[in-house]
Structure 1
Amino acid sequence: MSVILRLLTVVGSHRKCHATTLPPLTFFFTRQLQSFSSQEILHYRLQRCSSMAHLKLLHAHIVVLGLSQENFTLGKLISFAAVDERGDIDYAALVFNRIPQPNRFMFNSLIRGYSNGSRGPSEAIAMYREMLSSGVSPNEFTLPFVLKACAVESSHWLSTLLHGHGIKLGICSHVCVQNALMNALIGFRMTSDARKLFDEIDEKSLVSWNSMIGGYSRAGQTMEAFNLFRRMKDSRVGPDEITFVSLLSACSQARDSDLGMLVHLFIEMTGVQADLILRNALLDMYGKCGHLDSAEKIFRQTPEKNVISWTSLVTAYARNGCIKSARELFAQMPIRNAVSWNSLISAYLQNGHFGEVLSLFEEMQDSGFIPDEATLATVLSACAQIGDMAIGKRIHAYACETNLIALPIALANSLIAMYAKCGEVATALDIFREVQCKNLVSWNIAMGCLALQGCGAEAIELFREMEALGIQPDGITFTGLLTACSHSGLINLGRYYFERMMSVHSIPPEIEHYACMIDLLGRGGLLEEAIMLVGTMPMRADIVIWGSLLGACRIHKFAEMGRVLLKQLLELLPHSSGLCVLLSNLYSEAGRWEDRRKIRKIMNDIGVAKCDAISYIEIDGLVYEFMVDDRRSRWSNSIYPVLDRLTDHLKLEVPSGTL
Structure 2
Amino acid sequence: MSAALKHATVGSRLFCVHSAQTIWHNFKSPTHQTLHHLLERCSSMRELKLLHAQIILHGLSGQVLTIGKLVSFCTSPELGDLRYAQLLFDQSPQPNKFMYNHLIKGYSNSDDPIRSLLLYRQMVNAGISPNEFTIPFVVKTCACKSLYWEAVILHAHAIKLGMGSHACVQNAFLSAYVACRLINSARKVFDDISDRTLVSWNSIIGGYAKLGFCKEAILLFREMQKLDVVPDVITLVCLLSVSSKHGNLELGRFMHLYIIATGIAIDSIVTNALIDMYAKCGHLQYAECVFDQMLDKNVISWTCMVNAYANYGLIDYALEMFNRMPVKNVVSWNSIICCHVQEGKYMEAMELFHTMCSSGVMPDETTLVSVLSSCSHMGDLELGKQAHNYIGNNNITLSVTLCNALIDMYAKCGALQTAMDIFFGMPKKNVVSWNVAIGALALHGFGEEAIDMFEKMRGSGLFPDEITFTGLLSACSHSGLVDKGRYYFDIMSSKFGISPGVTHYACMVNLLGRGGLLGEAMALIKGMPMKPDVVVWGALLGACRTHGNLEIGKQIMKQLLELGRYNSGLYVLLSNMYSESQRWDDMRKIRKIMDESGIKKCWAISSIEINGFC
- Indicate conservation of the 8 Å contact 2:240/2:273, yes or no: yes
Secondary structure, counterpart of 1:139 in structure 2: coil
Q: State the Cα distance separating 1:133 from its structure 2 match.
A: 5.5
Matching of residue 349 in structure 1 with residue 341 in structure 2: yes
For 1:104 and 1:409, locate their aligned partners in 2 and report how far apart those are by CA, in whole Å.
Answer: 41
Matching of residue 551 in structure 1 with residue 542 in structure 2: yes
Match for 2:104 among 111, 131, 143? 111
For 1:611 and 1:518, locate their aligned partners in 2 and report how far apart those are by CA, in whole Å.
Answer: 24
Q: Deviations over 1:21-68 (max 9, x none)?
A: xxxxxxxxxxxxxxx978778777766766667777877887899876
Q: Deviations over 1:406-453 (max 9, x none)?
A: 732211221221222122222222322222332222222222222222
Q: State the Cα distance separating 1:132 from its structure 2 match.
A: 4.3
- Indicate conservation of the 8 Å contact 2:560/2:566, yes or no: no
- Cα gap change, 1:288/1:71 in structure 2, threshold over 3 Å: closer, same or farther? farther
Match for 1:226 among 218, 221, 232? 218
User: Superposed, which structure 2 residues align to 1:487-566 within 5 Å?
Assistant: 487-566=478-557
Q: Structure 2 stretches of 5 or more lacking a match? A: 1-28
Q: State the Cα distance separating 1:265 from its structure 2 match.
A: 2.1
Q: State the Cα distance separating 1:169 from its structure 2 match.
A: 2.7
Q: Deviations over 1:151-203 (max 9, x none)?
A: 32343443344334323433232222222222222222233332333333343
Q: Which residue of 1 aligns with 2:271?
A: 279
Q: Structure 1 stretches of 5 or more lacking a match? A: 1-35, 625-659
Matching of residue 585 in structure 1 with residue 551 in structure 2: no
Matching of residue 176 in structure 1 with residue 168 in structure 2: yes
- Cα gap change, 1:391/1:115 in structure 2, threshold over 3 Å: closer, same or farther? farther
- Cα gap change, 1:87/1:505 in structure 2, threshold over 3 Å: closer, same or farther? same
Matching of residue 461 in structure 1 with residue 475 in structure 2: no
Q: Which residue of 2 aligns with 1:27?
A: none
Q: Which residue of 2 aligns with 1:417?
A: 408
User: Superposed, which structure 2 residues align to 1:398-417 within 5 Å?
Assistant: 398-399=390-391, 407-417=398-408
- Cα gap change, 1:57/1:267 in structure 2, threshold over 3 Å: closer, same or farther? farther
AA matched with 1:379: V
- Cα gap change, 1:451/1:195 in structure 2, threshold over 3 Å: closer, same or farther? farther
Q: Which residue of 1 aligns with 2:76?
A: 83
Q: State the Cα distance separating 1:245 from its structure 2 match.
A: 0.9
Q: Which residue of 2 aligns with 1:200?
A: 192
Aligned residues: 586
Select between 489-498 and 80-89 the one with higher mean Cα deviation: 80-89
- Indicate conservation of the 8 Å contact 2:249/2:281, yes or no: yes
- Indicate conservation of the 8 Å contact 1:432/1:442, yes or no: yes
AA matched with 2:484: L
Q: Deviations over 1:501-520 (max 9, x none)?
A: 22222222222222222222
For 2:62 and 2:368, locate their aligned partners in 1 and report how far apart those are by CA, in whole Å.
Answer: 52
TM (norm. structure 2) is 0.85
Q: State the Cα distance separating 1:574 from its structure 2 match.
A: 4.9
Secondary structure, counterpart of 2:510 in structure 1: helix
TM (norm. structure 1) is 0.80
Q: State the Cα distance separating 1:246 from its structure 2 match.
A: 1.0
Select between 287-296 and 162-171 the one with higher mean Cα deviation: 162-171
For 1:159 and 1:183, locate their aligned partners in 2 and report how far apart those are by CA, in whole Å.
Answer: 11
- Cα gap change, 1:623/1:260 in structure 2, threshold over 3 Å: closer, same or farther? farther
User: Superposed, which structure 2 residues align to 1:60-139 within 5 Å?
Assistant: 71-72=64-65, 75-76=68-69, 78-83=71-76, 85=78, 89=82, 92=85, 99-117=92-110, 119-132=111-124, 135-139=127-131
User: Superposed, which structure 2 residues align to 1:572-651 within 5 Å?
Assistant: 572-615=563-606, 617-620=608-611, 622=612, 624=614
Q: Deviations over 1:339-383 (max 9, x none)?
A: 222111111111111112222222222222222222222211111
Matching of residue 255 in structure 1 with residue 242 in structure 2: no
Q: State the Cα distance separating 1:584 from its structure 2 match.
A: 2.8
For 1:197 and 1:282, locate their aligned partners in 2 and report how far apart those are by CA, in whole Å.
Answer: 31
- Indicate conservation of the 8 Å contact 1:388/1:623, yes or no: no
Match for 2:359 among 357, 367, 389? 367
Q: State the Cα distance separating 1:559 from its structure 2 match.
A: 3.2
- Indicate conservation of the 8 Å contact 1:183/1:194, yes or no: yes
Matching of residue 320 in structure 1 with residue 319 in structure 2: no
Match for 2:286 among 281, 294, 313? 294
Secondary structure, counterpart of 2:75 in structure 1: helix
Match for 1:385 among 377, 393, 396? 377
Q: State the Cα distance separating 1:484 from its structure 2 match.
A: 1.6
Select between 437-446 and 58-67 the one with higher mean Cα deviation: 58-67
User: Superposed, which structure 2 residues align to 1:436-451 within 5 Å?
Assistant: 436-451=427-442
AA matched with 1:388: D
Q: State the Cα distance separating 1:95 from its structure 2 match.
A: 5.5
For 1:156 and 1:401, locate their aligned partners in 2 and report how far apart those are by CA, in whole Å.
Answer: 40
AA matched with 1:451: A
For 1:153 and 1:143, locate their aligned partners in 2 and report how far apart those are by CA, in whole Å.
Answer: 16
AA matched with 1:269: A
For 2:109 and 2:231, locate their aligned partners in 1 and report how far apart those are by CA, in whole Å.
Answer: 25
Select between 74-83 and 529-538 the one with higher mean Cα deviation: 74-83
AA matched with 1:428: A
For 2:278 and 2:604, locate their aligned partners in 1 and report how far apart those are by CA, in whole Å.
Answer: 34
Select between 157-166 and 314-323 the one with higher mean Cα deviation: 157-166
For 1:373 and 1:344, locate their aligned partners in 2 and report how far apart those are by CA, in whole Å.
Answer: 15
Match for 1:209 among 192, 201, 207? 201
Secondary structure, counterpart of 2:313 in structure 1: coil
Select between 293-302 and 343-352 the one with higher mean Cα deviation: 293-302
Report percent identity of matched pairs.
53
For 1:341 and 1:310, locate their aligned partners in 2 and report how far apart those are by CA, in whole Å.
Answer: 11
Q: State the Cα distance separating 1:236 from its structure 2 match.
A: 4.5
Secondary structure, counterpart of 2:303 in structure 1: helix
